[in-house]
Structure formats: C-alpha cells, structure tokens
A and B are shown apart, each in its own frame.
Chain A
Amino acid sequence: MAIECLVLGAGQEVGKSCVIVSIGGKRIMFDCGMHMGYLDHRRYPDFSLISESGDFDKALTCVIITHFHLDHVGALTYFTEVCGYHGPIYMTYPTKALAPLMLEDFRKVMVDRRGEEEQFTNDQIMECMKKVTAVDLKQTVQVDKDLQIRAYYAGHVLGAAMFYAKVGDSAIVYTGDYNMTPDRHLGAAQIDRLQLDLLITESTYATTIRDSKYGREREFLKAVHKCVSGGGKVLIPTFALGRAQELCILLDDYWERMNLKIPIYFSAGLTIQANMYYKMLIGWTSQKVKDTYATHNAFDFKHVCSFDRSFINAPGPCVLFATPGMISGGFSLEVFKRWAPSEMNLIALPGYCVAGTVGHKLMSGKPTKIDLDKDTQIDVRCQIHQMSFSPHTDAKGIMDLVKFLSPKHVILVHGEKPKMATLKGRIQTELGIKCYDPANNETVHIPSTTYVKIDATQAFIRNCLIPNPELLKSSLEGNSDIGCTNTMSLPLPHLRDEKVAEGILVMEKTKKARAVHQTELLPMLGMVENKLQLAYCCPVNMSSLEHFRSHELNEQSSLSVGDPSSSMKMLLSSDQCSWLRLLLLKLSHSLAEGTNIQQFPDHLQLESFRISVCSNATCPYKFKEDVHASAALFFCCSWLIGDEKLAWRIISVMKDWNSSTAPRQPTS
C-alpha cells in the first residue's frame, strides 16, 4: 500500500492551499483555498484533476479544512455548491463559526466593491456550511470504518488545527498553518508524538528565524502612544477576525496600564459581532486568556466602542480599527482619504498586503502621493508603521516539529520555492528524513507501513514472556569481563527487555494466520511427533578409567563438582554409579571450563546429550568393530541434532582414552 499525495495548490507558492492525499483507498482533501493574487481560473485549485467525470462524491472520502483564512477555505463554497461535492466536510468549531464571515466578507468585496461577477451567493455559503461537521480538538472522528481523523491545536488563528488522518496502519499529518510560539491570545501548536508515514507541513518562513515578538509589540505601542498623545488619529486597517482581536487585547491592556482615556473604535458591526464569537470560543485561546472567562472575558474590551461615521471628522485623538485590511476599498479607504494628509496621524499596517492595493503601496517605500484612480490623488503626509505580526512558525519551529514527529517522509507546501528548497535540504541532511517540495498539480508517491493481522494463542504469548536465559547470561558475563569501565555502555537493559517471541505461524488459505507455540502445532495438525535422535554406544577402556580413578581421587576436593562428601558416598555405593562418576570426573577435565554436566543416579546429562552405562550386551547401538577390547566398558549415548557438535566432541574424548591409555597401560 502506498500513499499518494496530489498537490492542487500551495505547491511552491502561498495561496489556494489544497492537497489531496490517497491512503488505502481513501481520498482526503486537505483545505480548499483560494488564491488572492489571481482573478481568473487560477484563483481556484484545478479540481478536474481529482475526478475527470466531476463525480467528486465518489472520488473523495472527505474534505478537511484547517482554518478560516481564505487561502484555506475560500474555494469551499465553490467546490460544494458549484462543483457539486456533497460528501462530508470537517473543520473545528471556531472555523465553522468564523469561515462564513470570511466568505461573506470576501463575496461582498468582490461584488460590491470590485463589481465582479458573483462567484457564489450568501445563501450558498450558508448551504455549504450546513454540510460541515464540526470537530473538537483531539476528538477522534471515525469518518468511516477505516478512516480516522483527529485535530490538534495549531495556534495560527482561532480554531486553526493540524489534522491527523489514519487508514489502517498508515498515518499522516497535515499541519495547515501553525505557530510554535504562543502569542497574545493563542497558544502554541500542540501535537502528540505520533507514528507517521508522512508529514505535510507549511513552510512560509522556511529560512527565517524570528526574534521575540515582544520587541515588535513594544514598538507598535510606542508608535500608537506617541501619535495619540500628540493629538493624532491612528488608523489600523485590518480584517475583523484574528489580528484585530490580538491587537485589541494588546491595546486594551496597554490603555489599562497607562490609564489612557483616548477612545478605541471598531469601524463596523462586524468586528463587534466577531468579538461575540471570540467570547464564546475563548476556550480555544491560550491558557492565560482562557482563565479570564469568569471574572472578565478578555474579549470584553473595556476601552473599545463602535465607531460612527460622523466621528471621522471629529477633532481629538482616537484609535480606529477599520476593514478591509489592505485598504483595498470600503471604509478603511474612506477613512484613509481623510486622515492621510495630516502629519499628526498614523497608519499602522499589521499584515500582508496584496500587490495593487493602497496598503501595498504604503508598505513599499514612502510615497507622498497615491493615485486612487484617474481623478483622485491623495497626499500622504501621515506616518506609516509596519508590523509583521504574522502568526506562522519560523524555520526553527518547522524543524522542531519535524524532529518531534520524526515521520518517514515530509512534504513541504505553502512557501516560496527557493526557501523551500533550502529547508528541504536541511530536513534531509540534518534529520535524515526524505523530503519533497512538489509544485502545483504534481503527485508524490510514498510507501506506507502495514502490519499483517494475525492471531496468537495464549501459549504463544505466555512463551514470549520467558526471558531468554542464554542472552541474559552472556550479557551479564560480558559485563564482568569487560569490567566496570564499560558497563554503562552495554545495552544491558535492552537485552533484559528483549522478549523473543518464538513460535510457528500457521497459515491457511481461508483463515487468519495464527501464531502458535511449538507444542501446540502437532495437536492442531492431528499429528504425532516423530522424534529424531542420534545414538551411539561408546566403548571405553576400563583400565584407563581405573587408572584415572586412583590418580584423581586424591584431588577430588579440588574439583568443582557438587558436594564432595555426598558424591563420595555415591561413588562407593554402586558400581555403575562409580563408573559414571569416574567418567564425569574425567570429562570435566577434558572439556572446557564452564560446561556444566548434570549428574543423575543412572546417567549424566549435558544439554540433550545423555550418557549412561550400558549393560545390554545386545544393545543395538553397539557396533561389531567396537567390541574388541575385553576390558571395554560401554557407555550408551544419545542426543538430539542440536547438540551434534558437543556429542561428537565428548565421544571423541572418550575414544581418545582408549587409544591414549592403551599403550601406557603396560608401563603402569
């Protein structure tokens, strides 16, 4: 199974985010954005690449929207109402509440101010939003039997979320836009340490490392304070959602501390309305802001009141938030026309401005005159203050997230091509993770993890728990050998932890494979074990043993075998036993240290090798050629194939005595 990732938008650019991911037969669209820089068909993602027939319901399992910005949700109404997608759509509660405001505002700007043809109506926006299922953070949503999705806090705007999707054993995360550092009203992005095959992350600031935000905030406040204390008016053109609330919290707080009485105005009812949403959704802000809900909701601004058109020309200082953000028209332009010619006034631009807007002209250089149209020209004498309050993560944040999640693959979207290439290189070299930065309409294929589902019997599981004695022993020995200098470096806890699961996997065509314990297999198959053994009845020259006996008995106590007194008794009590005992002593001498031969009354055992005195003259394991020495004593040996080497070694030792002691015998 592979993961297929088709980038319809925001590939090596910023705008119209839209990524289609196919995993295990499921197809998910992440974001459905609009490009603000284009007015033609390039404004929307090329939906025809999803399905040529246009049957999007069949082609897609679900659509997931990460946050309410137009470059992430702008094309949704078009996709559902015009293209005719009727399947499920998921977004967080705040996004569901605020996205229609964004869409409606955009529609109004398009139709009323630019006089464009209407792309969709307000009713269609409402229709579209009805199809949306709202989700909570960390809520695990079962989209269908196989597809599971989950939202994580992204901190970019209110309700922004990173989405996790899992099909079978493959899992991916699509971050949307996120911010790794908390700001005035939002917390930092938060995610669990997940097992991921793929991470699709934004890369707006792929190469930037940003300084502290507080410095920029201080500058902004200083500029505003200076202006109003000089009797000037401050115009802050901004969109009603997000930035406006953040700056309002900042100003309201500052006003409170500095005990300023100068009014702060909101231009339209929309912002007051937006504050209502923010108040109810305070649970989605940072912990600090959240904690204020009971005593004084942070979005109940004390110093903020709504603006009346008649105030434009009223004397005295004030601060005004006005829409739209880029002074592209509407009320902010109207106010701009009146206030720009005065040196006392200040225009603070808190965000990105699209080329062609007044805001963009103000930001690029210091114009003294601005041509609105052929007939109107405005003298710009006021001060201009620019702030970059962009709530995106910087390069360090992206690297931190990638490192934290350690996915198998990374795809970069939502950034500028050269910067993305740099970041891609860093991810590959520094983190050793495969990284891609596809352009729009390109597809990336990625292998995915799969697990085979099997059953395991209780005996199999139980058997896994028996620690592996051999390994444990060797690792302990290794420890003592190397000495204390190296002990820490040895992966001892790993070894102890290692549970070797051993068994037999039984696979049948129609059934699920089943792991069984060795002992369970034959009863399951209805078979009886046929034990394959090796045996040999080995002759040993009695005299060689006896010789050995007299020689060794004195040194008995020096041997490290058992309790000397008890073994002595045993030695004398029975003849057989004494032979065995003798053999044991002799073997212990000949074999290497550390071999632990077990002694039983009638046999000796080492692993599966078993040796006993053979009194059966017709023992089938005796061979003619061995029955030559009259003084020979037979030891019957049997063993399993696993101890083959050991067995032959012992036998050769025993045979050696025959040959080596025989010539010596006459001399003694």
Chain B
Amino acid sequence: MQNGWWGRNKEHMLNEAKPRVANRRNQAGIPSPANHLLLKISLVEVLNQKEETSKTQNRGFSEGTCGSGSATTLILCLLVPMKFTCLSKGKGYHYPPCQMINMCGLRILLDCPIDLSALTIFSTVLANSHQTPNVKTSNSFIQNSVSNSGDQKRRRVNEALEADNLIKAVPWYKTVNTMHLLDTSFIDVILISSPMGILGLPFLTRNKNFSAKIYATEATARIGQLMMEDLVAMHMEYRQLYGYEEDRFPHWLKWEELETLPSELRETIMGVDGADLGSWQPLYSVTDVKDCIQKVQSVRFAEEVCFNGTLIIKAFSSGLEIGSSNWTIHGPRRNITCLSSSIFESAHAMNFDYSSLQGNDLILFSDFSLLHDEVDVSKDSFAPLNYMESEVNHPTACSFSALRNNDNDGENFIKSLVGAEEYSEEMDKLSFICSCAIDSVREGGSVLVPIGRLGIVLQLLEQLSQSLESANLNVPIFLISSVAEELLAFTNIVPEWLCELRQQKLYAGDALFGHVELIKEKKLHLFPAVHSPNFLKLWQEPCIVFSPHWSLRLGPVVHLLHRWCRDQHCLLILEQEVDTALALSPFKPVAMKVLQCSFLSGMKMQKIKPLLEILRPKFVLFPEDLKQNLAMKMTSCSFIHYSENEIVRVPTVRGDFEVDLAADLAFQLQPRRMKQENMAIARLKGQLLVSHGKYFLVSRRQLIDSSQSRMLMQYSTREEKRTLLQWGLLDPNLVLLVLQEKGISGLVDEDRSGGEHNAYFVHIYEPKNGLIEITPTQTVISTADETLASTIFEAINNILDGI
C-alpha cells in the first residue's frame, strides 16, 4: 500500500490534477491558495514598492558613481520615514524571527532562517531496512496504487498519525512565507544575528538579482556555514537512499494530494489559509552555500562597518550562541537596536552585552522566546509511560519587584539583570540530563542526543564525561556528523567569542572546551557518518551518541533511532521545540525513554522591564503577541506593537538634523548681533556631505579653473544681494535724518491713499527728485538717478534689520 505513494505515476497525476484542483477548492470552502496569494502579494507589493528616491539611489549605486554619500539622491532618501515589517515571528531557537526595516530609503532584512521543524512531515529512509521500499522494484505497484490510494487517503483525515501518513518524497524546505514574494534585488542590507538565521540565506543569494550586502559576525558565519554544509550532506544522503527523483514540482504540493493529507500535516505545509504554500523550496547545493558565505562580510563584536556612507552597523554579543549578536544601526537621523533573543549569562558564548546598546532611540524587540516557553510540553498523543518531563520546576525567582521598591539608582536593576539564577537553572537542567543518561547507561541502554544547539552539546560533552567518570563508567561518547571534527576544532580557536570563564582558560593555557581533552584521551570519538571506516571497530554499546538532526528525519540519528527505539533501556534526549508525537511517528512503537528538555533561549519576562529602563529608548517596537505577557507601562518610552506581516510606521524622533560644522567654515562666519535677546545670526554657506552616518558642513572646494572661480565669485556677490533678507519697521523720520547726513533732503508725507496700513512717503528733492514709499511690509525706493538710488538703499539697508 505504502509503495503506491512511491511508485506513483507522475504523468497520471499531472493529468488529473488540474480539473480537480478547481472543483474541490470551491466545494470544500477551503480558502484557495491562489486567492490567498493575491492578498499576500498586495502586502508584498507595498513591501517591494521602493520610494522613487531610493530607486534612483540604487541606480547610482550600481553605476558606481555614488561616493561617500555625496549624491543628491542619497540625502533625499534620508528624509524618507522609517517603516518596519515583521515577516515571521519564528518558532523559537531553531527558527528565529525574520524582519524587514526600511530606513533612510534602504531595505534592511534581519535574518533569513528556515523552518526545519517542518521536516517532520517527511518520512524517513534507511539504507538497510526492510521497511524502505526499493525504488526500482516499486514500478510493479503503480497499477495498484492508483486505484487504492483514493479510499485510503480519505479515511485518514481524523486518525492519529501513522508512519504511513508521512510524505514520502525528498524533502523540500520551508522558508519564511513572504520571502519568495519579495523582490530580492530590492534588499540593500542583510543582518544575520545567529547561525540559525543564516540557514535560509543561500535561497536568496542564489538568485541572480541578489545584490544586498550581508553582515554577520565571523563566528556566526563560520558556524552557520558548517550547519548548512551538514544539512546539505544529510540531505544528499537522504536523496541517495531514496533514489533518483526528478527536480520538478513535487507531487505532495499538488492540491489534490494536500487535501487527502491528515490535517496536521496539511497545516504544516499550507500554513494558516494556505499562506505557506509558496514557501517550500528544494534545498540549495554545496556551491550555493559556498557562494553565499563568500558574499557575507564578517565582522567582530563592536566592529564598525559603514554601509553606503549612511549607516553605521555594529554587532554586540547576545549570549544566545557563539557569535550570535544584536545589531545596532546608526543613521544620521535615527539609532536602532535590533534586540534578538538574548541570554544574560551564558556558559559558553560571550554574555549579552546590553550596556553597549544604551542610548539608542528605537529598540526593535524581537525576542520571541517567551512565546514559545508557554507551549505545553506534554502531548496526549504520545505514550506518557516512557515520557519524562524535565522542566525543572523552579520558582520564578522574581526578586525584581522587591528591588524596584528599594531604590531607583539602577545599580540593583543591573544586579537583577545578571542574577545567577538563570545560569544555575540551566546547569541544573544539564546535570539532570546527565543523571538520566547515567541511569540509562547503567541499565545497559544507550543514550541518543540529537540536540541541535551547539552550546548545549559542548556543555553536555563536558558534563557527561565528568558524570561518567565519577560514576566509574567506561562508556564511549560518539559525535557523528559530517562537520563534527571541524565544528569542535573551531570552538577551540574562538576565545574572543566566549564567556569570561572560558576566556580564563585561554589565559591559563588550557583548552577552551573539555572536548579537546576527551578526544585526546579517546573518550570522545568523532565520525563524519555511521558508515565511516573504523566506526564499527570502535563501536560498543551502551554508548552515548550526539548526532544530528533534531527533526529526526535526516542524518545519523535516523539509523540509530531505528536501532534503539524498541529498547526500553535506551534514552532519547530531545529539545522542547520538537513535536515529539510527529517526530517519533515513523519509529513507532517507541519503547525507549524520551527526555524532552527546554533550554533557555531568550530573556526571562521579569528582565525585560529593567533592561528597557537601562537602555532608555524613546520607542520600543514590541510584539503584539507578547503584550499580555508583559503588562508594563513606562513613562520614558512609548510602545508600538507589531504583528506578523503588518507594516508599522515609526514616528520620527528628531525634528532637526545633527550637522558637524567644520571649524574653518565656522571661523568664516560673520555673525550679526540681533537687537532682541542674546541672539546672533550669520549667513552660512558651505558644502553638505554625508559620511560615516553623519552630516558635515564644510567649506566649498577651491575650483581649479580660474575662469570658473571668477564666474563663481561674480555669481556669489550677486547672489548675496539677491538673497538679502530684511525685516523690521522703518521710521520715515529716522530715514530722513540719516539721509540728511548724506546730503539728501526731503519731506515726509503721511498716508495719502488711506489704506489699512499706514503708508509713508518720503519725497526727496535734493540733490535729485526721488520718492521712498514705506509700508510695514514693503519699502520702495524710486528715483531716476542710479547713484541716488544706491545711496538711499544703503542708508535704509542699515536702518532695517537684515541679513
């Protein structure tokens, strides 16, 4: 029966598919993916719609004429208001949020992850199992399958998931659902904040229109690259085992097949209202990954990089993983902190560097970890017998409110921020895992750890070996992954990216992580794959195996799980993000113990408020979904709530622009003291530049050509007179008095026309005839004589306020 899926005649399927899609959609009342796509597109059009100015700027950029921000259009762009869109709020640690900022006319994409939890909809394949159908022989089933599949599928809808329900095909990968609708060429900058946030990047960079500048920390780029290479390797292995399949539109994405899927799977594939249908992509290749990494400009923590002369971009440690970062973007008009999931005190990565984020106007808060913490861990569908809950029940340790009352000086806030309870909680979890592992090993069972978090793996390696030693157990630890060796070697050469404690090891001359010693002592063995030479020689059970992938669909873990899933003494350690019921369905019945553990993957709720108080932003872009979790009022800053795929306009903070005036230009100023107040004004003339995210006003360049400089000179004297600005009331008698000193005499005549404003006429008769007409808003000098006119003008000009 199941073979029918595999050997399905594609031609037949294609023929049948079209009419059925149209009919079913309307009858069943399921929102049509096409319609929905239309809605989506309208949103994306808005996203893609470049302001006129930025388009021209883009063009200038490609021509290479745009220097350090001296193009006119560039400055125009800076006047464009800031917009923000959350493209995806993600699903916790392995699928971080993805966002788009539009500032200074530039589009900045934050992270480009993929949803690897969606891999669980696919079936597993094994090299040497009878369950796996051989593709070559499956041809004989074609006839049967066509007739049978219909009934069978319909029956399935409300049943519990069986292994057979899973999709038997080479996996495709689920990207952020609006990403494929975005015009790649419109993205200017991509900021990657964690290794998980880089996994979807090759999907963008392999697009030939891609031209964005990508920034990531060195460690993030390296670990990300290894993760992608590992993913590609595991995928290739799957493909090899599965057999050749043409690169074409997969059958399971066809409407008719989607309908027959169990609702759970269908939801994963289609998302709410079918929005996700377009987000599925076939995996990138090794070359794609290489090309992608080559396009990444790697930075160190707190390294300043200047994009386009306009934006200063810096990364600061977020503490989540080695190299993971929070980004700050300084523009001439606005400073933004992109606050991703952050951990105040990490046992491996450098701690959350929050103090460097101080003083920015806007915080884009995108730590969604609280949202995923709420997820109930236990699942009914899964046999509760062998299921352990490891959530160490900790008191919420909220000493914060007490602190708040005591004083306001901020010192205590900082203390409350970096309180050690988080750290010790995590340590407790790890030691609990270790004790469970030891128990299993004692019973003769092996332990399988398909955890995808580098930090947890590194710490577990250290702690497990210690536990084994103290329990006097001689059990080998294996780390099986195509990048195992490289990854572990890498972690030992990155002291700059690690926490204080690890850095102390550097100064003491010890290896940064315990695995260096373990490998030397032959307690830990690294293998690229289960079929590696020497692997069987060293293999012994019970043992402890770390291997990818946490989705339980790819990699060595599949083979080992098939081997151990019936053994009740064995132990499987999973992360909380994994949907156990679905993930384990191909391995049913599962007798082995399963330990699911949630690890800290962001800020605790009680720390958010003190953090914001320290950072003092003017605006916080805060997720709508977390609004309930965090009922807080802060007088100092205003909150703007955002939801997925909703464009948020961010109000401008500053009315004025900050400009640096060059000293030599300042000395050239000829200030004129004003009659009122302590004020002086001066004409300002210079050249405006944008450089390094700042405006500069400098003296104008000397022209090389003499004729041009002469022209400029003439022009500027005339221009000076033309821009002359005068104000104030003119007293005709005073005018007369002043004129008399210059040998000009006349008579004052009042308001002849009788208008609403008093008008005065000063008749000049000496030396020549003339007239000065004076109203509050206008003074007219009339005479036939040029010299007289200019003398009168000078006199009046001196009386009036002007510049």
**Residue positions of A touching B, CB distance < 8 A:** 93, 96-97, 100, 129, 134, 136-142, 150, 169, 273, 276-277, 279-283, 293-295, 297, 449-458, 460-462, 464-465, 467, 470-471, 474-475, 478, 490-491, 494-495, 497-510, 513-515, 518, 521-522, 525, 527-538, 608, 620-621, 623-626, 638, 640-644, 648, 651
Alpha-carbon distance A373/B428, docked complex (angstroms): 64
* CB atoms of A454 and B659 under 8 A apart: yes
* CB atoms of B663 and A450 under 8 A apart: yes
Alpha-carbon distance A138/B724, docked complex (angstroms): 50
B776 at the interface (CB under 8 A from A): yes
Apart from A458-B657, A471-B712, A534-B781, what 6 extra A-B contacts exist at CB < 8 Å? A138-B304, A280-B506, A293-B490, A478-B705, A518-B725, A530-B728
* CB atoms of B715 and A471 under 8 A apart: yes
Please pick, from B493, B707, B727, the residue contacting A293 in the complex, using a CB distance under 8 A.
Answer: B493
**Residues on A with beta carbons closer than 8 Å to the beta carbon of B300:** 136-139
**Residues on A with beta carbons closer than 8 Å to the beta carbon of B656:** 455-458, 514
* CB atoms of B705 and A490 under 8 A apart: yes
Q: Which of A281, A608, A625, A641 has the most CB of B within 10 A?
A: A641
* CB atoms of A491 and B778 under 8 A apart: no
* CB atoms of B75 and A456 under 8 A apart: no
* CB atoms of B684 and A502 under 8 A apart: yes
Chain B interface, DSSP helix/strand/loop, else mixed: mixed
* CB atoms of A474 and B711 under 8 A apart: yes
**Residues on A with beta carbons closer than 8 Å to the beta carbon of B371:** none
Q: Which of A96, A150, A530 has the most CB of B within 10 A?
A: A530
Assuming the contacts A297-B489, A450-B663, A643-B722, asked whether A502 and B685 have C-beta atoms less than 8 A apart, the reply is yes
**Residues on A with beta carbons closer than 8 Å to the beta carbon of B687:** 498-501
> Closest chain B residue to A490 by CB distance?
B705
Please pick, from B663, B724, B725, the residue contacting A521 in the complex, using a CB distance under 8 A.
Answer: B725
Contact with A along B285-301 (1 / 0, CB 8 A): 00000000000000111
**Residues on A with beta carbons closer than 8 Å to the beta carbon of B302:** 136, 139-141
Please pick, from B669, B685, B727, the residue contacting A527 in the complex, using a CB distance under 8 A.
Answer: B727
> Closest chain A residue to B703 by CB distance?
A491
Q: What is the distance, in angstroms, from B170's C-beta to the closest C-beta of chain A?
A: 29
B45 at the interface (CB under 8 A from A): no
Alpha-carbon distance A647/B797, docked complex (angstroms): 19
* CB atoms of B506 and A478 under 8 A apart: no
Alpha-carbon distance A527/B779, docked complex (angstroms): 16
Assuming the contacts A140-B302, A452-B666, A521-B725, asked whether A281 and B493 have C-beta atoms less than 8 A apart, the reply is yes
Assuming the contacts A293-B493, A461-B688, A507-B680, asked whether A644 and B658 have C-beta atoms less than 8 A apart, the reply is no
**Residues on B with beta carbons closer than 8 Å to the beta carbon of A455:** 656-659
> Closest chain B residue to A92 by CB distance?
B496
Interface-side segment among B112-120, B203-211, B242-250, B783-791: B783-791
Alpha-carbon distance A494/B726, docked complex (angstroms): 34
Assuming the contacts A279-B493, A465-B72, asked whether A449 and B726 have C-beta atoms less than 8 A apart, the reply is no
A-B contact pairs, 18 of them (CB 8 A): A97-B506, A138-B300, A139-B300, A273-B509, A457-B657, A467-B72, A475-B708, A501-B684, A504-B681, A507-B679, A515-B697, A529-B777, A530-B778, A532-B778, A534-B782, A641-B722, A642-B723, A642-B724
Contact with A along B769-803 (1 / 0, CB 8 A): 11101001111111110100110010011001101
Alpha-carbon distance A501/B512, docked complex (angstroms): 56
Alpha-carbon distance A55/B572, docked complex (angstroms): 62
B533 at the interface (CB under 8 A from A): no
**Residues on B with beta carbons closer than 8 Å to the beta carbon of A621:** 771, 780, 782
* CB atoms of A456 and B657 under 8 A apart: yes
Assuming the contacts A281-B493, A491-B704, asked whether A530 and B509 have C-beta atoms less than 8 A apart, the reply is no
B29 at the interface (CB under 8 A from A): no
B413 at the interface (CB under 8 A from A): no
* CB atoms of A507 and B682 under 8 A apart: yes
> Closest chain A residue to B773 by CB distance?
A620
B44 at the interface (CB under 8 A from A): no
> Closest chain B residue to A273 by CB distance?
B509
B671 at the interface (CB under 8 A from A): yes
Alpha-carbon distance A500/B688, docked complex (angstroms): 7
**Residues on A with beta carbons closer than 8 Å to the beta carbon of B663:** 449-452
**Residues on A with beta carbons closer than 8 Å to the beta carbon of B669:** 505
The 5 closest A-B pairs by CB, nearest first: A642-B722, A451-B660, A509-B678, A455-B656, A294-B486
B70 at the interface (CB under 8 A from A): yes
B686 at the interface (CB under 8 A from A): yes
> Closest chain B residue to A645 by CB distance?
B718
> Closest chain A residue to B218 by CB distance?
A283
Q: What is the distance, in angstroms, from B801's C-beta to the closest C-beta of chain A?
A: 7
**Residues on A with beta carbons closer than 8 Å to the beta carbon of B718:** 642
Alpha-carbon distance A490/B685, docked complex (angstroms): 24
Q: What is the distance, in angstroms, from B790's C-beta to the closest C-beta of chain A?
A: 7
Please pick, from A457, A515, A641, the residue contacting B724 in the complex, using a CB distance under 8 A.
Answer: A641
* CB atoms of A626 and B784 under 8 A apart: yes
* CB atoms of A623 and B703 under 8 A apart: no
> Closest chain A residue to B508 by CB distance?
A97
* CB atoms of B695 and A533 under 8 A apart: no
Please pick, from A129, A280, A451, A467, the residue contacting B495 in the complex, using a CB distance under 8 A.
Answer: A280
Q: What is the distance, in angstroms, from B721's C-beta to the closest C-beta of chain A?
A: 4
**Residues on B with beta carbons closer than 8 Å to the beta carbon of A456:** 656-659, 695, 697
B622 at the interface (CB under 8 A from A): no
Alpha-carbon distance A478/B494, docked complex (angstroms): 60
Contact with A along B567-599 (1 / 0, CB 8 A): 000000000000000000000000000000000
Q: What is the distance, in angstroms, from B88's C-beta to the closest C-beta of chain A?
A: 31
* CB atoms of B688 and A134 under 8 A apart: no
* CB atoms of A140 and B314 under 8 A apart: yes
> Closest chain A residue to B721 by CB distance?
A642
Contact with A along B149-174 (1 / 0, CB 8 A): 00000000000000000000000000
**Residues on A with beta carbons closer than 8 Å to the beta carbon of B658:** 453-456
Assuming the contacts A280-B495, A281-B493, asked whether A533 and B725 have C-beta atoms less than 8 A apart, the reply is no
B519 at the interface (CB under 8 A from A): no
> Closest chain A residue to B711 by CB distance?
A474
Please pick, from B70, B356, B684, the residue contacting A142 in the complex, using a CB distance under 8 A.
Answer: B356
Please pick, from A504, A533, A535, A640, the residue contacting B722 in the complex, using a CB distance under 8 A.
Answer: A640
Alpha-carbon distance A506/B725, docked complex (angstroms): 14
Please pick, from B495, B657, B727, the residue contacting A529 in the complex, using a CB distance under 8 A.
Answer: B727
**Residues on A with beta carbons closer than 8 Å to the beta carbon of B725:** 504, 518, 521-522, 529
* CB atoms of B686 and A501 under 8 A apart: yes
Alpha-carbon distance A460/B685, docked complex (angstroms): 11
**Residues on B with beta carbons closer than 8 Å to the beta carbon of A502:** 683-685, 723
Q: Which of B70, B687, B688 has the most CB of A within 10 A?
A: B688
**Residues on A with beta carbons closer than 8 Å to the beta carbon of B771:** 620-621
Alpha-carbon distance A651/B789, docked complex (angstroms): 13
**Residues on B with beta carbons closer than 8 Å to the beta carbon of A142:** 356
Q: What is the distance, in angstroms, from B110's C-beta to the closest C-beta of chain A?
A: 21
**Residues on A with beta carbons closer than 8 Å to the beta carbon of B704:** 491
**Residues on B with beta carbons closer than 8 Å to the beta carbon of A279:** 492-493
B661 at the interface (CB under 8 A from A): yes
Alpha-carbon distance A528/B777, docked complex (angstroms): 7
**Residues on B with beta carbons closer than 8 Å to the beta carbon of A506:** 679, 681
Assuming the contacts A507-B681, A531-B726, A536-B782, asked whether A624 and B700 have C-beta atoms less than 8 A apart, the reply is no
* CB atoms of B303 and A138 under 8 A apart: yes
Assuming the contacts A471-B712, A494-B701, A620-B771, asked whether A530 and B726 have C-beta atoms less than 8 A apart, the reply is yes
> Closest chain A residue to B790 by CB distance?
A644
**Residues on A with beta carbons closer than 8 Å to the beta carbon of B747:** none
B95 at the interface (CB under 8 A from A): no
**Residues on A with beta carbons closer than 8 Å to the beta carbon of B700:** 498, 500
**Residues on A with beta carbons closer than 8 Å to the beta carbon of B782:** 534-537, 620-621
* CB atoms of B495 and A530 under 8 A apart: no
> Closest chain B residue to A643 by CB distance?
B722
* CB atoms of B779 and A531 under 8 A apart: yes
Contact with A along B95-106 (1 / 0, CB 8 A): 000000000000
